[in-house]
């Protein structure tokens, strides 16, 4: 039965949850909150079973062993964060900002990502696991920070222009959103830089060189340079830690991240998935974005 679960099953559940979130803008309902939790929970359960079947089934593969799997695990983590947040903050319209990111990752996995798994040698390489895992956590942190940053900017705009809250679009407090954005920056900087460094080590070990001319490599280098400058600026310049500036930084980081993922997923030939093939340091097809 578990092998009958498809990507459409949990994607549809998340899409219905997002539609229910959007209906908050138009009318009130006493049962909508329960329906949202039910559909989101069903989607997360189906999502979990789909991943488990991919890892333990007859043609099972290791976690994060392909671009397809990496995107779906990232989407799973974001969906889990959404479900936890909506359970503790049922009045806030968090899903309008989080669920499009979840569906975007699922769409990227379905339409563009490669399902070719890593070679056995690459799968046993410790640096490969550090590379894939670190970039996964860093990417999810960037997306959480992006959602919190957008909510912060919208709430701040309302406050600045003394606009009344729109029905059905209640947002968390500015203090909470600022705290989430700042912590997301710290986590994303640490893990993205760690994953990028591990990718460089992988490339040097496998081929004795780094493919700097590859589009994904240089876009990833730009992303890491931006994050390093952002971290230095954020910790050395006190006003940069104020809420609105932090929100702008999270949005900017997401833009660079989207460029990196787009360079990989939309048509660029970015090497293979094995350590015995030409591997670039930031390689979703071979373990990480």
Q: How far apart are CA 285 and CA 177, in angstroms?
A: 34
pLDDT mean values, one per 10 residues, the chain (289 residues): 88 97 89 93 97 85 88 97 91 94 95 79 78 92 94 90 82 90 89 88 76 72 84 67 77 87 61 37 41
In 3-state terms, what secondary structure has residue 208?
A: coil
For the four alpha carbons of 73, 15, 46 and 9, in that order, the dihedral sign comes to negative
Q: Burial of 220 by CB count in 10 Å (0-12 exposed, 13-18 middle, 19+ buried)?
A: buried
Find the largest Cα–Cα distance for the chain.
62
Q: Check residue 289 and give its pLDDT.
A: 42
Question: Residues with Cβ < 8 Å from 172, sequence gap 6 or more?
Answer: 89, 92, 94, 151, 155
Is residue 108 within 8 Å of residue 71, measured between CB atoms? yes
Q: Check residue 258 and give its pLDDT.
A: 87
Domain ranges of the chain: 1-116, 118-289
Query: What values do phi and psi take at 47, rounded to 5?
Result: -60, -45
Q: Check residue 120 and give its pLDDT.
A: 62
């Amino acid at each position: 039965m578990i092998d009958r679960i498809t990507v459409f099953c949990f994607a549809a559940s998340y899409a219905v949850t997002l539609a229910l979130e959007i209906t908050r803008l138009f009318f009130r309902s006493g049962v909508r909150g329960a329906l949202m939790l039910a559909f989101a929970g069903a989607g997360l359960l189906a999502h979990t079973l789909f991943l488990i079947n991919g890892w333990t089934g007859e043609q099972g593969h290791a976690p994060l062993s392909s671009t397809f799997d990496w995107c779906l695990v990232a989407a799973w983590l974001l969906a889990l964060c959404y479900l936890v947040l909506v359970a503790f903050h049922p009045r806030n319209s968090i899903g309008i900002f989080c669920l499009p990111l979840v569906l975007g990752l699922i769409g990227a996995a379905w339409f563009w990502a490669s399902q070719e798994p890593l070679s056995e040698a690459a799968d046993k390489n410790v640096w490969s696991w550090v590379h894939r895992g670190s970039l996964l956590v860093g990417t999810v942190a960037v997306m959480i920070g992006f959602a919190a940053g957008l909510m912060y900017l919208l709430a701040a705009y309302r406050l600045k222009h003394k606009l009344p809250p729109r029905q059905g679009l209640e947002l968390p407090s500015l203090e909470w959103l600022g705290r989430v954005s700042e912590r997301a920056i710290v986590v994303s900087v640490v893990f993205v830089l760690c994953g990028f460094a591990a990718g460089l080590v992988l490339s040097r070990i496998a081929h004795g060189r780094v493919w700097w001319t590859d589009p994904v490599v240089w876009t990833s280098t730009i992303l890491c340079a931006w994050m390093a400058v952002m971290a230095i600026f954020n910790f050395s310049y006190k006003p940069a830690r104020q809420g609105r500036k932090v929100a702008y930084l999270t949005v900017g980081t997401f833009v660079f991240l989207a460029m990196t993922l787009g360079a990989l997923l939309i048509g660029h030939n970015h090497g293979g998935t094995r350590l015995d093939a030409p591997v670039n340091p930031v390689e979703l097809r071979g373990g990480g974005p």
